[in-house]
Amino acid sequence: AKADVTRAICFYELRMDEASRTRQTLARDLRRALELDQLELHYQVQTSVSTGEIRGFEVLLRWTHPERGHVPPSEFIPIAEENGLIMAIGEWVLRTACRQAASWDKPYKIAVNLSPVQFAHPDLASLVKNILTETGFDARRLELEITESTIIADKVRTLQTLRRIRELGVTIALDDFGVGYSSLDTLRSFPFDKIKLDRSFMSELEENPQAKAIVRAVLTLGKSLNIPVLAEGVETDDQLTILQTELCDEAQGFFLGRPKPVEQIFGLEGADSDA
Ligand code: C2E
Ligand code: CA
Ligand code: CA
Ligand code: CA
């Protein structure tokens, strides 16, 4: 039995080794990808539920690895957060998105995701300000998306940073609301301009009455707090119809449009074949 345990431990260590080697390789390749300008931004449309109008676009990072092909952000963002590379990547995302959107014909908003690691940095507000100046992008067209894990790290400092960013005219959205560390205290204590309801509620909207009741309650909460609610992960016509009935403000999801390279987001409205 002792030998079995030893063998099991060795096997475990071997697998751990393998996993950490993969992470190290990915980290090195990611650094290179950033230097060689191999990262790309995709944009996913956000629309008004009542009128169908475009409200803006969420910016989503894409990495095509030379050998592995597409690596999902859920895989490489945690690695970048662990080794600090997320600071440089996050800055690149913000600068590139502002620069691209500054050249559009229409003044749509863009929503950029921020990692909790970026938020922990004391100079975040200055960085945002500098990038806005440098790119000439209108602060009112920029929204930053943060999750509740950002807030729990250091409440006092987060609140300070949020205030400084909002003073620039930039808006703040609370991402993935309803899952993870969700608590009403977050909404009570922090100044949000939008609540993004996590997409897990959409996938259960039609068959699970509990999910529907929660969606309804969040929409009511948003109305009483005067904060618009965006439903994430809308994949069907029926889901959108329910959101219309429930007076949800905005929606985003494959049914409305998949994330696309910047060259493809305009001109194809209504003729969207891949959604
Ligand atoms: P998120 O911020 O919740 O972004 C929305 C994710 O849902 C995106 O996945 C998007 O492709 C996906 N999605 C959109 N509509 C639908 C739908 O109808 N159904 C389903 N099943 N999925 C949908 P993606 O692009 O793989 O990104 C995953 C996560 O990676 C993001 O979740 C965000 O947390 C993170 N991420 C992406 N780009 C960045 C970035 O530039 N910086 C940081 N810090 N994180 C990023
Ligand atoms: Ca997001
Ligand atoms: Ca989300
Ligand atoms: Ca997420």
pLDDT of residue 273: 43
- For the cut 80, the answer to whether the pLDDT of residue 268 exceeds it is no
* CA 245 / ligand 2 centre spacing (Å): 25
* CA 176 / ligand 4 centre spacing (Å): 6
- In Å, how far are 48, 142, 173 from 215, measured between CA atoms? 17, 26, 17
Through-space distance between the first and last CA atoms of the chain, rounded to whole angstroms = 55
User: Which residue from 223, 224, 211 is spatially nearest to 249, judged by alpha carbons?
Assistant: 223
Q: How far apart are CA 205 and CA 140, in angstroms?
A: 33
SS3 of 113-157: ECCHHHHCCCCHHHHHHHHHHHHCCCHHHEEEEECHHHHHHCHHH
Of 13-17, 60-64, 141-145, 182-186, the range with the lowest mean pLDDT is: 13-17
41-99 confidence digits (pLDDT tens): 999 999 999 999 999 999 999 999 999 999 999 999 999 999 999 999 999 999 999 99
pLDDT of residue 271: 42
* CA 187 / ligand 2 centre spacing (Å): 17
Q: In the numeric block, which tokens belong to residue 161?
A: 């940073």
Confidence of residue 270 (pLDDT cuts 50, 70, 90): very low
Residue 60 beta carbon below 6 angstroms from any ligand 1 atom: yes
pLDDT of residue 274: 46
Residue nearest to atom 25 of ligand 1 (CA): 60
| Dihedral (CA of 201, 205, 209, 212) sign | positive
Q: What is the mean pLDDT of the chain?
A: 91
Decide if the complex's ipTM is over 0.90: yes
b/e per residue 67-102 (b: at least 16 CB within 10 A): eeeebeeeebbebbbeeebbbebbbebbbbbbebbe
User: Which residue from 208, 207, 112, 211 is spatially nearest to 165, judged by alpha carbons?
Assistant: 112
Average confidence (pLDDT) over 119-145? 96
Mapping DSSP to helix (H, G, I), strand (E, B) and coil, where does residue 254 land? Answer: coil
pLDDT of residue 272: 43
- In Å, how far are 184, 189, 224 from 42, measured between CA atoms? 32, 32, 34
HSE-up of 37 (CA within 13 Å, CB side)?
Answer: 1
Residue nearest to atom 33 of ligand 1 (CA): 113
Q: Ligand 1 test: best mutation among 60, 92, 262, most atoms within 8 Å of CB?
A: 60
Residue spans of alpha helices (H) in 141-271: 148-153, 155-167, 184-189, 200-203, 209-225, 237-245
217-263 confidence digits (pLDDT tens): 999 999 999 999 999 999 999 999 999 999 999 999 999 999 999 99
Q: In the numeric block, which tokens belong to residue 58?
A: 């969420």
pLDDT of residue 12: 67
pLDDT of residue 267: 65
Confidence of residue 38 (pLDDT cuts 50, 70, 90): very high
